[in-house]
Structure 1
């Protein structure tokens, strides 16, 4: 069953948003790791990817998309790159710029070589060996970026022919990268055009994981037409969870030429199991699968129905994404990660109510902004509520990780089921997107524990 979509390789479109502030990020000394079958960041905190795929290699002029993807609530982006075998090669300078864009916008960068798609069945495809050659050649772009990047060796290596060698070839590729000095978490795609309908990755994942001397591999399944039934989705993802093996859904859609994937079940199951997902794709699809665009012509203010579902729907990005704790809330990665990042601003909430809250504007553009509020318990609490009053006509348009309501300039945010119970000193965050008309001052907050 061939499941591959084609993307247009031309035509750049004018983008509507730009960042007001450009920050040169610093690097961290440690990176992502796999612990007990979970992806954890450089602080040792669980990180669950909530993001999209971006076809950078075919639309290199669309670099403002990184800010836009972040503004829509994502905490990660999977970036299409090319080693030059099938498409135009992305050099080290270009890759370094992509990483910089991700860091400026508090996104974790998952970098993948797309030329390997369908190797063995697609005659023009790159081998995994050739993909590794590329990663070694551009290694300078990724050095010191282990805390902010995940290396996805190659997209969908093997179609439906020759996939029997997937395990051995994947282990060999990981060994070469480790020998070259790569310490990153390495993400490896399933064969069968990414969908693993033969269970080749599922049955050999433990062997491949153990073959890595760093035990730092994240498995990647792509869910299209093979995953039409909720039971199939739960069975596949549940196998990895039950066996303590790390997995993420690196691509999926709401429809496809090979069948009708159950996107609701994918999102719900990923949320239930605490697994990452990255929807395909931000914009630029062609060849009959234009319906997989999340935005119209790279315009974040013009979401398609698929985009509305993924970004703003139940179990979607806005409702579930949490910024990686390696970022300190200012758009600048924290060069000295700690388990509980120190707020960059003085607390803006009134003390003595059992909790405090800090408000940070993360991104801002002409008439909109992205903000995050960190809630810290002063004592053991079972719930919390944060309220504030806007002085400059701002309004909240959508929020995640909190129940947010507004009445005029008054805004109230309260905990949801999974982040209300906090021990003394423990923090949680919620975020939201809003609009403003000119000034966008930081309000004073009141935090009350329940």
Structure 2
């Protein structure tokens, strides 16, 4: 059993899941909403967080950080606030100023109360109920800002004390319900116990019940990935369980290294991108207590990116390459499903949708790139890109291949799968049905393997062999 040691909390700066039937919000949304396991902005477009945390409560004069974080490509900033119980309170005026800084820099604000960190194990940490008291005290700065603000009730609200961790589901559900009964219509983010890392799987196994307890069905779950998540298998298993159960999940904190182990940041970022899951790295600058290596820039200077800053902003599957600005600021939509603001259920934005009669494709007018993005004993994750190299669009497709080593599919996203023996057929989802001339669609999958894991030798698209 691995635990996150208490001096860590990068966040301190001292610093099975049941399949859930999609439940739609109980009333017309004024801001962010959740539907079918996905987060949507106020315009009804799917939103995937790509950003970092900023320790505002300890560095309140560093207001230029908001513009600097945006300039490096982020669409979200997670802002550390204090309730006044462990650190000096960020009052209503300060919270209003933070929201205005987010809006001025076209960032979505995830506001978190930090004083809950490690409750039950960390001296002075407060309860989630006490955190709700704080949110109620600054309510006037938040009501009306639902398009721009997500409320993260309490950072890492339990340590590793089993007796308090056992109360996570009840306490979290009660905190959500209390915010709702007091007029908060924002999307609410809730952190896992075990210093955010949920090695006990308490959040994973109780998330469906907590989500159902929210009268607005507008709760997002946040997992923090440090030393507990040091292998691809652990990362993929945890995140895919939420996606399969249609429960919204984000990686609310993670780093490239840590004193409790070496997290696999490459897999965290790659899997988040493949599954359309948000991530928020820790942290912009100002870390202390032995975790200074988690600074992304030195001394709050955006011209001095650290190796961690280079990785998360400019590396593969990093913020610069993958972030899409929220459409409430005029950002463009991503090629994922969107929905109209008048309806809480997703509606496909790609047309025409898949039909039994797919477009004929000239011989050789397609190219397939098959990549094993992660592999571990007994399993692997794959990414497939299908490019239409012809002059006419493809409207509806079936991609087929044969595996040479007995690999067995277990999950796919961006396509539906069927397998008979070694023969695999992937069929488009409605939102990946159209491949314009010269365009590309991408889907991913998980599979089991034994002995060898050789890539398929050939692919056919709608019966025609691809390059």
Q: What is the TM-score with the length of structure 1 in the denominator?
A: 0.69
Which residue is 2:257 aligned to? 255
Which residue is 2:225 aligned to? 223
Contact 2:4–2:227 (Cα < 8 Å) also in 1: no
Pairing 1:118-267 to 2, within 5 Å after superposition: 118-161=118-161, 162-267=164-269
Residue segments in structure 1 that go unaligned for 5+ positions in a row: 10-27, 331-336, 340-379, 383-417, 424-450
Question: What SS class does the counterpart of residue 196 from structure 2 fall into?
Answer: coil
Contact 2:160–2:195 (Cα < 8 Å) also in 1: yes
Which residue is 1:434 aligned to? none
Contact 1:167–1:204 (Cα < 8 Å) also in 2: yes
Q: What do residues 319-360 of structure 1 show as CA deviations (whole Å, max 9, x unaligned)? A: 000000011369xxxxxx987xxxxxxxxxxxxxxxxxxxxx
Which residue is 1:436 aligned to? none
How far apart, in 2, do the equivalents of 1:422 and 1:51 lie? 30
* TM-aligned CA distance change 1:50 to 1:381, over 3 Å: farther
Contact 1:381–1:420 (Cα < 8 Å) also in 2: no
* TM-aligned CA distance change 1:304 to 1:110, over 3 Å: same
Question: What SS class does the counterpart of residue 302 from structure 1 fall into?
Answer: coil
Question: What SS class does the counterpart of residue 249 from structure 1 fall into?
Answer: strand
Pairing 1:26-425 to 2, within 5 Å after superposition: 30-161=30-161, 162-328=164-330
Following superposition, the deviation at residue 7 of structure 1 comes to 1.9
Question: What SS class does the counterpart of residue 193 from structure 1 fall into?
Answer: coil
* TM-aligned CA distance change 1:420 to 1:306, over 3 Å: farther
Q: What do residues 354-384 of structure 1 show as CA deviations (whole Å, max 9, x unaligned)? A: xxxxxxxxxxxxxxxxxxxxxxxxxx978xx
Contact 1:29–1:147 (Cα < 8 Å) also in 2: no
Of 10, 13, 20 in structure 2, the residue corresponding to residue 7 of structure 1 is: 13
Following superposition, the deviation at residue 216 of structure 1 comes to 0.4
Question: What SS class does the counterpart of residue 53 from structure 2 fall into?
Answer: strand
* TM-aligned CA distance change 1:421 to 1:283, over 3 Å: farther
- Following superposition, which runs of at least 4 residues in structure 1 exceed 4 angstroms of deviation? 418-423
Residue segments in structure 2 that go unaligned for 5+ positions in a row: 16-27, 333-338, 342-391, 395-430, 437-467
Question: What SS class does the counterpart of residue 272 from structure 1 fall into?
Answer: helix
How far apart, in 2, do the equivalents of 1:420 and 1:54 lie? 39
Contact 1:29–1:144 (Cα < 8 Å) also in 2: no
Following superposition, the deviation at residue 8 of structure 1 comes to 5.9
Following superposition, the deviation at residue 2 of structure 1 comes to 3.0
How far apart, in 1, do the equivalents of 2:198 and 2:38 lie? 21
* TM-aligned CA distance change 1:421 to 1:307, over 3 Å: farther
Contact 1:51–1:76 (Cα < 8 Å) also in 2: yes
Following superposition, the deviation at residue 112 of structure 1 comes to 0.3
Question: What SS class does the counterpart of residue 51 from structure 2 fall into?
Answer: strand
Contact 1:8–1:284 (Cα < 8 Å) also in 2: no
* TM-aligned CA distance change 1:290 to 1:419, over 3 Å: farther
Contact 2:156–2:196 (Cα < 8 Å) also in 1: yes
